[in-house]
Each structure stands twice: as C-alpha cells, then as structure tokens.
Amino acid sequence: MSNDSQTQSLAFGLLWPELNDGLHYTDVVPPSELTLIEFYSSMYKNSAPLQGWLQRIQNGQISVDGRVVQDPNAILSVGSELVYHRLPWKEPDAPHVLEVLYEDDDMIALNKPSGLQVLPGGLFQQRTVLRQLYWRVRKQNSSLASQESHPVPVHRLGRGTSGILLCAKTKVAKTCLAAYFSDGTSLVGANRKAKRSGTRKISKIYRALVTGILGEDKVVINQPIGIVRYPGVAKGLYVASPSGKPALSKVEVLERDGQQNRTLVQVEIESGRPHQIRIHLSFMGHPLLGDPLYIAGGQPRRFDSEFVDESYAQDGGYQRPTNPVPGDCGYYLHAHQLVLSHPTKNEMIKITAPLPSILKTRDELNSSRESISISSAN
C-alpha cells in the first residue's frame, strides 16, 4: 500500500483579488408572450425579488440578442438570447493556501482548509478550490488550453469542513473515482445487510468533536437523509427524514472530556449524502461542537420555512439569509484518512491529512510535543 508520506509536502495558492469577475447567465426565450421583467421575475425569483430585477434591468445589466435593453416592459421574441450580467462583487473572506498531500499523473489529493468552498455557489464564485486548481495549472504551463487539463474535485467537502479533497487530473480517473463514491452510496441503499467491506473501493474516515458525552464506544447510524424547504437555500436543506435516502455512518469514541462536556469521535461514512456526518451526529443528540445550523434530531436550529425576506442588496439580489445556512462555519470536522484503489494502477493508496490540534487525543498531542522537543534538541 502506498502512503502519502511518499509525496513531498508542498503548498500552493494565489491571493484572491479584491473583486471577482462577475458572472454572465444566458437564456433563450421560450415560446410564450413575455416581457423582460416577467421573464426574469418568474424564472429566477430565487435570485431577486421583483424590485431587484427592475433595478438590474434599469442598470443595463441585461442584453437581448447582444443589445442592452433597459425597458422592463419590452416584449420578448421567441428564440431571442438573453444575457444577464451579474456585476463583480467582493466575496467573503476565505483561505487561499492548499497543501498537496498526494499527487501523480491521475489524481491529486489536497488538504482543504476550513472556510474554503470547493465549487462555485452563492456568494463564492471565485474564492474556491476549483479556481485555485485552475490558476495552478495555468501557472505551471501557460501554453495549455487550461480548462480541459486542470484537475477537478470528484466529491465535496462542506465549506467549514477541513481535510482530504480528492481531485482527478484525467477523464479516466474522474470517471473511476466518481464511481467509487457513488457505488458506496448505492450499496448502502441497495442492501445494507448484504454489503461486504471487501466490495468497497474507497474508505473515508473523519474526525469530529461533538457536544455531550457519548455513552457507547461504537454506534452505527443508518438514519435516512432527505430535503425540506428552507429560506436562503434554493434547492432545499438536507435533514434527517424518515422518507429520505439511505445513509450509513459508523461512529467510534476516541476520547471523552467530561470537564468540557464534549466527545472526540472518529466517523467512517459508507455513503455520501450531503452534510451526512453533521446530520447523523445531531440526529443522535450530539451535534458537532460549534455547528451553527444543525441541532439534536438532525434538524435546523431555526425553521421559519415560510418566511422570505423581500429586501434586496445593492446588486438587486436578496440579502444574505438571517437564518443559519449549510455553508456557515464554526464546527469541527476533518476528513482525516482516505484509502482507495488507485484508478489506473493495481495498488491501494492511503492518504492522511494532518489533524488540527483540537481534534487530537491527549496522547497524540503529547507525541506531537515530544517530536517538536526532539527536533529542537537536534
């Protein structure tokens, strides 16, 4: 088995620009009689309220067949091309440095810091892992046609989650690695009892710090995860739900801290539902320490699902939700170890991401201090 220790540790990352590049959204007018404002306020009401779309049109941010149109009541012709230009904005602060844990011709494993989003979404369109990967390839070889050659993540980590993020560098590796993740999830859904660990091509182990003291040393959680309507999350929020899709997590207690009423745990997930660990641990009554969203029961802290804030920001879009949303940080969750079958070589790869101090056991902390003392003496 190959280990990440064989790969020399290195880091990369460019500073984020003050403003991003903005965005362009293209649509084709469907066969119906609509005005410009009717089209956008009905098709994209999750992006902005009516007054916000009026503001965007009057600002000259929308063109029809290449011509800027500022009349909200302009009648649209079927088949016309509409382009909405979202103006550049300053994205929230985010880390920019990524550590390389393992790399070969097929894939690269990164140590993602907490606070950095993996893929574009919401307020984060440029300050993402994907953009840093793109810049890295462009810097290494400016003659490349870029887009086709730069690595892409084959799974996601929540913005507040740190640790191993696996990315593919070739189409073959992308197909293979993506299949590993989806196969694990489908195996859990198809037949939990019949599933054997030998059929898995990938194993994912996390560290987490949870509130309260877990009584049992080992717990298996198979609570299904579904989606509910939730303000500020256009596609809905993932929660513990009897009618949801199957999910399986194995939890093992590493250390109990009665004085601070918290428990350090190791979690192996055998499916890949969004926010699975946060939901499962909160479902069993032990939410992640500092989690701003999920509480006991695997539900959100606030659930004003019918409330929508109609005020809008400077760019015409809705204000940031006052309710907690999945991207909010503050919890302690780290993708610590990954063992997988290499996508093109006949070997197993083990990758380990160094643990943050708060997620180490007392023995691990003492070992770290002893190593530092020995190094200093030498």
The string of pLDDT tens digits covering residues 247-289 is: 999 999 999 999 999 999 999 998 889 999 999 999 999 999 9
Q: Are 210 and 287 in contact (CB under 8 A)?
A: yes
The CA distance from 241 to 66, in Å, is 47
- Tens digit of pLDDT at every position of the chain (378 positions): 554 444 445 999 999 999 999 999 999 999 989 999 999 999 998 788 899 999 999 999 999 999 999 999 999 999 999 999 999 999 999 999 999 999 999 999 999 999 999 999 888 999 999 999 999 998 887 655 444 568 999 999 999 999 999 999 999 999 999 999 887 676 676 555 434 445 678 999 999 999 999 999 999 999 999 999 998 787 899 999 999 999 999 999 999 999 999 999 999 998 889 999 999 999 999 999 999 999 999 999 876 544 444 455 667 665 666 789 999 999 999 999 999 999 999 899 999 999 999 999 999 999 877 666 565 555
Which 3 state secondary structure label does DSSP give 82?
Answer: strand
- How high is the pLDDT of residue 148? 53
Q: Which helix (H) or strand (E) holds 315?
A: none
Nearest to 51 by CA among 306, 317, 232, 234: 317
Asked if residues 313 and 55 have their Cβ atoms less than 8 Å apart, the reply is: no
Ramachandran region, residue 40 (left: φ > 0; alpha: ψ -120 to 50; beta: rest): alpha
CA 127 to chain centre: 13
H or E element in which residue 308 lies: none
Taking the mean position of all CA atoms in its chain, how far away is CA 23?
20
Are 286 and 263 in contact by the 8 Å Cβ rule? The answer is yes
Which residue ranges form the domains of the chain, and what is each CATH number? 23-86 (3.10.290.10), 98-192+200-301+327-358 (3.30.2350.10)
Task: Tell me the chain's radius of gyration from C-alpha atoms.
Answer: 23
In the chain, which residue ranges form alpha helices assigned H by DSSP?
36-43, 50-58, 129-140, 171-190, 276-283, 362-377
- What is the Cα–Cα distance from 175 to 343, expressed in whole angstroms? 9
Q: What is the pLDDT of residue 150?
A: 80
Q: CA dist 167 to 9, 152, 159, 282, Å?
A: 16, 5, 16, 29
How far from the centroid of its chain's Cα atoms is residue 138's Cα? 24
The C-alpha atoms of residue 341 and residue 350 are separated, in whole angstroms, by 9
Q: How far is CA 280 from CA 61, 202, 226, 243, 250, in A?
A: 43, 20, 12, 15, 10
